[in-house]
Amino acid sequence: MTRIAQIIVAAGKGARIGGDTPKQYRLIGGTPVLQRTIEASLKEPRITEIVAVVAEGDPHISDLLAKYERVRSVTGGASRTASVKAGLAALADNPPDFVLIHDGARPFVSKVVIAEIIEALATSPAVVPALPIPDALKSLDGAAVDRDQLRRVQTPQGFQFAKIWAAYRNIDQAANFADDIEVAKNSGLEVAFTKGDPNNFKVTYPEDFAKAEAMLATDTYIATGTGFDVHRFTSGDVMWLCGVPIECGLTLLGHSDADAGLHALTDAILGAMAHGDIGDHFPPSDPKWKGASSDKFLRYAIEILKERGGILQHVDVTLICEKPKIKPHRDAMREKIAELCDLPLTRVSVKATTTEKLGFTGRGEGLAAQASATAKLPA
């Protein structure tokens, strides 16, 4: 099976943007640029590993990498060329067949662009996505330039790993090339072109952030899903609610840990995507889910949302019961849900109410939970 790795170059300071925060960590639609770039790349399942090349002492990267199993980081160099070489060296001990080298500040790379590069690498040692130039071109002295002989090139640029690694090992240590295709050409490698994408632009100037925000606003829609779950009380040591253990002499009866709060929230997120319900994905008839922790179900729903390019915006859970008392545990529940959903605490609500002694919850036979989840999804 062909192994494919990706290097994401994110060691620069983004001086043209200004300010103290490097551009790869500035927010677009509430999410850091580099995080969007990583998540866009991970939509291609054939990429088995990503190496993010970052500046020495980067204070942001550890929190970001904790979100992804397939991503690790290495320290870059003083130039882009040196940083790419550091990324290639990190892969050399267990070399992949192909490597894609991508700018950390290109957060809108599409799965189609990546897939076409991978397909072309089966027959070409070096592949670059490119776009034609629609405008007339002039030199500085006013002479016409044949635009048909020129292309705007983008990243990721793809390579057969052994050949690009050899090319980088052969250049001078102080060399600084404009991009990786230039290194490939310097080594005599043939270069193939695939179709680029106008949306795969590099965030370079302040106006690029405005463009990116506008793209997100027009290419997405807001969806809200709801969920509802009920479980009966039985005697036990611990009751799990919203990911928090409560010692109250009772537990909830169910095939898994019966965490009604997380079950309702999982259904709400699935509902926002119109992706069935928790029973479709985790049937109670399946013995492997017996006693399972419900945070697995919630993480699964969130992962599906991310794979679809969605972003969870806000969640709200209401617990309906006479017992146990929820208020003493509410802050812990909000914190746990915020952690599981990767949301700030200000976007997580947990409430409790009763049915005024009416119905099965009023008689203390069990409890119910309802939830809503708001997500931004690609149109």
* The pLDDT value given to residue 159: 98
- Give the domain range for residue 23: 4-218
Q: Are residues 111 and 82 in the same domain?
A: yes
Strand, helix or coil for residue 65: helix
Is the domain of 177 the same as that of 85? Answer: yes
Among 218, 242, 277, give the residue marking a domain's end. 218
pLDDT given for residue 292 in this prediction: 85
Query: Tell me, what's the pLDDT at 214?
Result: 84
Distance CA 265, CA 313 (A): 13
The DSSP code for 214 is: H
Q: Helix, strand, coil proportions of the chain in percent (round to 5)? A: 35, 30, 40
Please tell me the predicted confidence (pLDDT) of residue 17: 56
| Whether residues 211 and 256 fall in one domain | no
CB-based burial label for 246 (10 Å; 0-12, 13-18, 19+): buried
Question: pLDDT truncated to tens, each residue of the chain (379 aa)?
Answer: 899 999 999 997 655 555 677 889 999 988 899 999 999 999 999 999 999 999 999 988 988 888 898 999 999 999 999 999 999 999 999 999 999 999 999 999 999 999 999 999 999 999 999 999 999 999 999 999 999 999 999 999 999 999 999 999 999 888 899 999 999 999 999 999 999 999 999 998 889 999 988 887 766 789 999 999 999 999 998 999 999 999 999 999 988 899 999 999 999 999 999 999 998 888 877 777 787 889 999 999 999 998 888 999 999 999 999 999 999 999 999 999 999 999 999 999 999 999 999 999 999 999 999 999 999 988 7
Same domain, 373 and 249: yes
Q: Taking the model in full, what pTM does it have?
A: 0.62
Q: How far apart are the first and last CA of the chain?
A: 34
Alpha helices in the chain (DSSP H): 33-42, 61-65, 80-92, 111-120, 161-169, 180-186, 206-218, 260-272, 278-281, 295-307, 330-341, 359-362
Q: What is the amino acid identity at position 147? A: R
pLDDT of res. 60? 87
Q: What is the DSSP string of 150-196?
A: --EE-S-EEEEHHHHHHHHHTS-TT---SSHHHHHHHTT--EEEEE-
Burial (CB count <10 Å: 0-12, 13-18, 19+), residue 319 = buried
Counted residue by residue, the chain has a size of 379
Give the number of domains in the chain.
2
Same domain, residue pair 98 and 193? yes
Please tell me the predicted confidence (pLDDT) of residue 14.
56
Looking up residue 113, the CATH number of its domain turns out to be 3.90.550.10
What local confidence, expressed as pLDDT, does residue 1 receive?
84
Looking at the structure, tell me whether residues 232 and 166 fall in a common domain: no
**Token output for 299:** 């993480």
Q: Are residues 34 and 155 in the same domain?
A: yes
Cis ω before 156 (30° cut-off from 0): yes
Say what the pLDDT of residue 19 is: 60
- Of 195, 218, 241, which closes a domain? 218
The residue from 158, 187, 218 where one domain ends is 218
- 345's CB contacts (< 8 A; 6+ apart) are 334, 335, 338
Residues 227, 214: one domain? Answer: no
CATH number of domain containing 313: 3.30.1330.50
Same domain, 209 and 347: no
213 and 242 together in one domain? no
* Phi (first) and psi of residue 245, to 5 degrees: -80, 130
> Do 251 and 171 belong to one domain?
no
* Whether 208 and 230 share a structural domain: no
